[in-house]
Amino acid sequence: MAIDSVQIESVCEHFPIAATHRDAKRWIESCVMLGLAPNTVTAYARAVEGFLSFCQNRSVEVRSTSREVIAQYVGDLRTQPRRERSNVVSIDSRALLSNATLQQRLTAVRLFFEFLLEDGLIPINPVSRGRYTLSKRFGGHAERSPIQKFHKLPWIPSEAQWASLLAVVAKESPRNRCMLALAYDAALRREELCQLRSEDLDPAHRLLRIRAETTKNRRERILPYSAISGELLRNYLRHRQRVASTRGPLFLSESPRNYATPITLWTWSKVIRSIALRAEVPAFSTHTLRHLCLTDLARMGWDLHEIARLAGHQSLDTTKQYVHLSAHDLAQRFRETMDQIHAWRLQALAELPAGSEQV
């Protein structure tokens, strides 16, 4: 299989340390040859770049990395700020790397060493999946990861935040409004949305074909969209004819520098970030509409398997992380239930036989 030279060159340009490290570059090339998603390759390269930089700063030979070095690396990760807030250095700040990012970085480093182990270049993998320790759980032992996992519920906007977002979106271009509608309607990931093509549309039946090469699990799916999204799509297609008359990538850039070229993931992320800041809802991201759609489907009584099929999840456990009731929903349900119980208890007290006495 031929190596995607364009993707390799792009990775090498952004991650020079990994590009000049023989073992790291071979591993990245193997990830590309195995057909991993471009975003996954980029994430792996970023993680290995950080680890190689850590080793350089401490004069550590990569192939001689010990578990003690890995422990030091994990400690260093815990003090690193997020890229968008690189000026934050206090460990008390909430702008440090998230738990999910820590897990991702360490997983990539483990896979890198697994590659070296399979090639016979190292005797053991210093980044183990975890070790078994005594536990009160069934069986007496439980696996303990080097980084403790925290499972947080996906964030979705409140009604007030949603209203603020809608007020900003109303002033957006036909392209952006169409993309936002489809992202919510079909619970699309950023990659799936930005890589839609003209031939993926079936307007007669209001269906979208999400091609396998654009999905996270490499499985194609056919998704419906609503009449409202269909109207926004028709408006955008009329607008698109003024940008480019040819078929191909559906959503095109309209900036002078990249006019009529396919919209990139980074451009769409910037659009969403701009909307979030103007609406004063900074937590809003390209994935929020997917979270919101799946949660709304659960609220409307969709079966878990149906939601998983629409979302393209292979595991129902993944779907359960997306499908949840907000704290407001739980509070409302709690009040309704307690009111019923409260009323029942009062009614029961009122119906006590006349003349009954407390002991």
CA separation for the pair 232, 236 (Å, rounded)? 6
**Planar angle of CA 142, 148, 154, nearest 5 degrees:** 115
State the helix-helix crossing angle for 99-118 and 38-57, rounded to 10 degrees: 80
Indicate whether 89 pLDDT > 60. Answer: no
In this prediction, residues 217-236 reach a mean pLDDT of 92
Indicate whether 188 pLDDT > 90. Answer: yes
pLDDT at 1: 39
The secondary structure of the chain, three-state, reads CCCCHHHHHHHHHHCHHHHHCHHHHHHHHHHHHCCCCHHHHHHHHHHHHHHHHHHHHCCCCHHHCCHHHHHHHHHHHCCCECHHHCCCCCCCCCCECCHHHHHHHHHHHHHHHHHHHHCCCCCCCCCCCCEEEECCCCCCEEEECCCCCCCCCCCCCCHHHHHHHHHHHCCCCHHHHHHHHHHHHCCCCHHHHHCCEHHHEECCCCEEEECHHHCCCCCCEEEECCHHHHHHHHHHHHHHCCCCCCCCECCECCCCCCCCCECCHHHHHHHHHHHHHHCCCCCCCCCHHHHHHHHHHHHCCCCHHHHHHHHCCCCHHHHHHHCCCCHHHHHHHHHHHHHHHHHHHHHHHHCCCCCCCCC
Please state the CATH superfamily assignment of the domain spanning residues 159-322 in this structure: Intergrase catalytic core (1.10.443.10)
pLDDT at 226: 92
Indicate whether 96 pLDDT > 90. Answer: no
List where CATH 1.10.443.10 sits in the chain.
Answer: 159-322
* Residue with more model confidence, 325 or 169: 169
Confidence class of residue 79 from pLDDT cuts 50, 70 and 90? confident
Confidence class of residue 298 from pLDDT cuts 50, 70 and 90? confident
pLDDT digits (tens, 9 = 90+) for 146-173: 666 656 677 889 889 999 999 999 999 9
Which own/partner pairs from 160-164 qualify as long-range (CB within 8 Å, at least 24 positions apart)? 161/279, 161/281, 161/284, 164/279, 164/280, 164/281
pLDDT at 85: 40
Indicate whether 65 pLDDT > 90. Answer: yes
In this prediction, residues 198-225 reach a mean pLDDT of 92
pLDDT at 144: 55
Confidence class of residue 136 from pLDDT cuts 50, 70 and 90? very low
Residue-averaged pLDDT of the chain = 83
In this prediction, residues 311-330 reach a mean pLDDT of 71
Least confident window among 41-45, 117-121, 314-318, 339-343:
339-343
Tokens of 145: 């990861």
Percent of the chain with pLDDT over 70: 79
In this prediction, residues 75-85 reach a mean pLDDT of 76
In this prediction, residues 26-39 reach a mean pLDDT of 86
In this prediction, residues 70-94 reach a mean pLDDT of 65
Map tokens 């690189």 to a residue.
86
pLDDT at 9: 82
pLDDT at 202: 95
* Residue with more model confidence, 344 or 225: 225
Q: How far apart are the first and last CA of the chain?
A: 87
Least confident window among 5-9, 192-196, 208-212, 225-229:
5-9
CB-CB contact of 244 with 260 (8 Å): yes
